[in-house]
Amino acid sequence: MNRIFAGGLMALTLLLAGCFSPSDGLPAGEEAYRVIPVQSEDGALREYRIGVLDVLSIRTFQEPELTFDQIAVTSAGTINFPFIGELNVIGKTPQTLSDEIEAGLGTRYIRDPQVVVGVVSSAAQRVTVDGEVVQPGVYEIAGTSSLIESVARARGLKFTGVDDEVIVFRMIEGERHGAVFDLRAIREGRAPDPEIIGGDRIVVGYSALRGAWEDFKSAAPVFNVFRRF
């Protein structure tokens, strides 16, 4: 009787646990690589994207009051610029930010402004690896990494990890985007390994089936105790 009860409880747990997935609605397959692409075939790095605590230089041609040798990005990913105010800069390229400042100044204040944004110093680039990995945490990378390399830094997947439901989140032009990748297909060479950049967050999905099995095995000694009485 105890076995029947345990089996029924386990089946109900599996049914309830499988009703929701955090990857629902996110692009997968070929669509995922449009959001999080692979490194170019010639090995060239993607254009740098500004991160929190970076130090920028902003030079406005013939406008010394609008020229700064150093301006720090806040922990919230913003800077304050004269006449424009607070700008969200995280995830933007220096060229994109240059264009945005030119547009803001040109609207009211300066005729045909010319702005150049540079990166004086870059804060250590970090990638967060979370979810069903052995050692979740924040890991430093030099420039860029790949999905396989980033997951390996976290010591790989736990037993309850789902290798075909690995989500990468990235800030692009100030907006958060996500995409789902099949780590098994990447390992086997059936899919390309997407490029991971500083600021990305990787979340490995949870297997409700394996999790319920782990819970069942943990509870098994308890059921055996009851059977003795």
Q: What is the rounded average pLDDT of the residues 80-106?
A: 93
Cβ neighbors of 44 (< 8 A, separation 6 or more) are none
pLDDT band for position 98 (50/70/90)? very high
CB 163 within 8 A of CB 182: yes
Cross-strand pairs, 146: 195
pLDDT band for position 23 (50/70/90)? low
Residue 109, pLDDT score = 81
To the nearest 10°, report the CA torsion of 132, 136, 140, 141.
Answer: -10
DSSP string, 146-198: EHHHHHHHTTSB-TTEEEEEEEEEEEETTEEEEEEE-HHHHHTTSS--BEEET
Span 191-221, pLDDT tens digits = 999 999 888 999 999 876 555 655 555 655 5
CB 130 within 8 A of CB 157: no
Residue type, 215: D
On average, the pLDDT of the chain sits at: 82
Is the model's pLDDT at 18 over the cut of 60?
Answer: no
Cβ neighbors of 68 (< 8 A, separation 6 or more) are 56, 57, 58, 59
Residue 33, pLDDT score = 95
Radius of gyration of the chain measured on its C-alpha atoms: 24
Is the model's pLDDT at 100 over the cut of 80?
Answer: yes
DSSP 8-state class, residue 205: E
Please state, in angstroms and rounded to a whole number, the distance separating the CA atoms of residues 125 and 142: 7
pLDDT band for position 3 (50/70/90)? low
Is the model's pLDDT at 176 over the cut of 50?
Answer: yes
> What residue ranges do the domains of the chain occupy?
26-44+124-207, 55-121
Span 33-88, pLDDT tens digits = 999 999 766 555 567 788 888 899 999 999 999 999 999 999 888 999 999 999 99
Residue 10, pLDDT score = 54
Q: Do domains 26-44+124-207 and 55-121 have the same CATH topology?
A: no
Does CATH number 3.10.560.10 belong to domain 26-44+124-207?
yes
Cβ neighbors of 35 (< 8 A, separation 6 or more) are 27, 170, 172, 177, 178, 179
Superfamily (CATH H level) for 55-121: wza like domain (3.30.1950.10)
pLDDT band for position 118 (50/70/90)? very high
Span 139-162, pLDDT tens digits = 988 777 899 999 999 999 998 899
Cross-strand pairs, 81: 85
